[in-house]
Amino acid sequence: MVFPPLSWYTIVMTCPDMQKRLRRFATREKAMVLQRFFKTGTGQYGEGDKFLGVVVPDLRRVMKEFRDAPLSEVTKLLRSPWHEDRLLALLILVDQFERGDDKLRAGIYSLYLKNTRYINNWDLVDLTAPKIVGAHLDGGSRSLLYRFARSGNLWERRIAIIATFHFIRQDEFGDTLALSEALLQDEHDLMHKAVGWMLREVGKRDQRALEGFLKKHHAAMPRTALRYAIERFPEAKRKKYLKGQIERA
């Protein structure tokens, strides 16, 4: 389904207008698929989340139309019970953060931290934590990440480790490795995947740094985290890690 862009004189930067525009791209069929994919059933990590049925390319299209919406309206959108509303709000925040001056960036970072209860699924975290939290903490104290790593909130713990992707891209691995160690005993599978993913990203840039971590911790790592971390290893070495045949450091 193709919709023409809103003309410049019809765009109103309010929460209801953003919601109205977004819903033009929604389909019931896609909503049903997304609800299953993001585990919204009873007892699952996304329990109770509601989906309109809008795909990410259409969300990004709407984001470009409302990229200059006031933060007050974006905050209202972020607090919506609908997943795509929250994702749209977060995409706008990322875009404004990347284009903004230091004052705006600080404001967006503060807004983000005050609303982590609404950043409550892995896609919402993964698309934003490195670009807002990691970027803001670059060059300063990163103590917030260690506090979040101890949080009882799954999504704050995921924010902590995924935010370090910003540092990994700059060949800084210390926080990723320290947080990965702190999170080794986390009970949630989504954290095992997140830790393994970030370790794999470290390995793409510094194989020795990754193997130094793995030789120390592989025996205690959750299986999922280990599998993610060693995904790019040669098959023979990967099997040795999985069988516990690597000597510990």
Residue whose C-alpha is closest to residue 111's, from 131, 132, 130: 132
160 pLDDT more than 50: yes
pLDDT in tens, 78-110: 999 999 999 999 999 999 999 999 999 999 999
Please provide the average confidence, as pLDDT, over all residues in the chain.
93
| pLDDT at residue 7 in the model | 44
What residue spans define the domains of the chain?
15-127, 129-249
1 pLDDT more than 60: no
Matching CATH number, 129-249, of 3.30.450.90, 1.25.40.290, 3.10.105.10, 3.40.50.2300: 1.25.40.290
- With contact defined as beta carbons under 8 Å apart, do 128 and 90 qualify? yes
| pLDDT at residue 11 in the model | 58
The three-point CA angle 72-77-83 to 5° equals 155
8 pLDDT more than 90: no
pLDDT-based confidence at 5, cuts 50/70/90? Answer: low
